[in-house]
Structure 1
Amino acid sequence: MIEISPPDARALTHWFPSGAPGPAAIGEHVLATGIGRWWADRPAQPRTVAVSCAGHVVLRGTPEDLRPGFLAPLAGNRIEAPARFLPALGSAFGRLTPWERMVWTLQAPPQRATVPHTVTVRHLEPADTDALHALGPDAAWLSASWGGPLGLAACGHAWAAVDRTGHILAVACTYFRGTGYEDVAVYTVPDRRRHHLGLACVTALCADIAARGRTPSWNCSLHNRASRLLAWHAGFRLVREYVHYAVGSPVRQTRLSI
């Protein structure tokens, strides 16, 4: 596939449904923020289109004329695509691992989250960039959809639990911002988990999202029990399940020609 310019917003709904929870928000987020990339099988009148951001890809269109090598730029990502793309994906990559996913939306009041007096739950600000960096590589994924720690700190879509020394203990943010739904992500430092800090940040973020006229959504692995429990305690309820595929390196062209 080749990289293309962002499509016109009116054309986006032809490929990706707008105003829906789950992976649909990725295209809307990339179009609104410019963080991410657009791909197509050809520059004019494409038959297959993909959008990528933060290691996630949404792939749509018709795969009949796709040669395996065309999908090589999508290597190393997690791809959500209709079942008709599975033969093409299986031929293009040396590894294709299905991950069962769950989409939740906010439907109930959250459980109350009490935090210590020494902790403040507040909006992240650009001055918090260094504190986000200090969370280390385990938390690097959290800011990927905003272009890095500075982008997350300055986006206005993140809340944090911060101690008196300025250290961040937990963060909840809009990970993908759609027109109808904002997908929520959360990270808590390991030694402060089970202290309700993540829940407090999620609750504050969800109030913000609702004030913007959108609905909070939640996307997690079927096997991530901790994420599912936090979602439930925050008032989210399951609306659907789907599968995306973690793909490895492209199959070498010499192998494809055999």
Structure 2
Amino acid sequence: MIEIDPRDLPALSRCFPTGSPGPGTVGEHVLATGNGRWWADRAVLPHSVAVSCTGHVVLRGVPDAPTPETLAPLAGCRIDAPSRFLPALGSAFERLTPWERITWTLQAGPLTATLPMGVTVRHLEAADTEAVHALGPDASWLSASWGGPAGLAASGHAWAAVGRTGRILAVACSYFRGTRHEDVAVHTVPGRRRHRLALACVTSLCADITARGHLPSWNCSVHNRASRLLAWTAGFRLVREHVHYAVGSPMARDRRLSA
């Protein structure tokens, strides 16, 4: 795909779902924050358009427009696309693995989360950048949709459980901020899980999202039991199931010709 200049986005963004939970929030988040990239099968009057952020891709348009060569930049990503795109994706990549996902929205009150002594749940601020960075590589995905630790800390869209020393023990944030829904993500440091710190952060974040006039949403793998359990205890309920596809390396040209 060809990367598209942000100045061309208003017209292209009409190809994508808006105001819906799940994949629809990706394009809206990229438009609002500038964290992500836009692609098209050609520079002028494209037939297929994709938006990517943190390895998540939403692909829409005419399925027979993109060639294996134009799809190659999306290698190694997780692609949400209508089933009509499967032949094109299958011919473009060495691997195409279905990944069943579930989308939830906040529909009930959360269970109560009692905090341990010395732990405070509060908004993250710009001054917390180093504390976010100290969460280490295992949590780097959490801030990626905001451009890194500094972006997440200053976003105004994250709540954290913080110990007496200022160490972040758990954090919940709006991972993708849509025009109507904000998709929630959460991380708890090893050794502090099952203490309901994540639940306390999610509860505060959801109250914040609701106060902004938006609806909290949750998106996870159907096989992620821990995520599903946290979503349920926080008041989220299932609204839809869908599939996106983890793709591998671009398929070699000689393999495509012999297929």
- Which bin holds the TM-score, normalised by the shorter protein? over 0.9
- Residue 69 of structure 1, CA deviation: 1.3
Within the alignment, does 1:186 sit opposite 2:186 as a pair?
yes
Residue of structure 2 in register with 1:113 after alignment: 113
The alpha-carbon deviation at position 132 of structure 1 amounts to 1.2
In structure 1, the partner of 2:89 is 89
Matches within 5 A, 1:40-119: 40-119=40-119
**How far is the alpha carbon of 1:67 from its aligned partner?**
1.6
Q: Deviations over 1:93-142 (max 9, x none)?
A: 11111110000000001111110120010011111111111111111110
Q: Work out the CA distance in 2 between the residues paired with 1:11 and 1:137.
A: 34
TM-score (norm 1): 0.97
Alpha-carbon deviation of 1:254? Answer: 3.2
Counterpart amino acid of residue 20 in structure 2: A
Look up the match of 1:36.
36
Q: Which moved more, 1:164-173 or 1:130-139?
A: 130-139
Q: Secondary structure at the match of 1:246?
A: strand
Kept after mapping to 1: 8 A contact 2:48/2:65: no
- In the aligned structure 2, how far is the partner of 1:152 from the partner of 1:2? 28
Count of aligned pairs between the two proteins:
257
Contiguous gaps of at least 5 residues in structure 1: none
Instruction: Pick closer, same or farther for the CA change 1:64–1:10 going to 2, 3 Å.
Output: closer
* 1:245 match: secondary structure: strand
SS of aligned partner of 2:160: strand
Q: Which runs of 5+ in 2 are unaligned?
A: none
| Equivalent pair of 2:35/2:145 in contact (CA under 8 Å) | yes
- Residue by residue over 1:147-182, the C-alpha shift from the partner in whole angstroms, topping out at 9 and shown as x without a partner, is 111110110000000001011000000000000000
Offset at residue 43 of structure 1 (A): 1.2
Tell me the distance in 2 between the aligned counterparts of 1:257 and 1:98.
24
TM-score, normalising length: structure 2: 0.97
Q: Is the 1:69–1:253 Cα contact (8 Å) retained in structure 2?
A: no
- How big is each residue's C-alpha offset from its partner over 1:6-50, in whole Å with a ceiling of 9 and x where there is no partner? 34446523x112110000000000000000000001111110000
The aligned amino acid for 1:80 is D
Residue 156 (1) aligns with residue 156 (2): yes
Verify the 8 A CA contact 1:94 1:247 in the aligned structure 2: yes
Aligned-CA RMSD value: 1.0
Match of 1:201 in 2: 201
1:181-218 superposed Cα distances (whole Å, 9 cap, x missing partner): 00000000110000000000000000000010000000
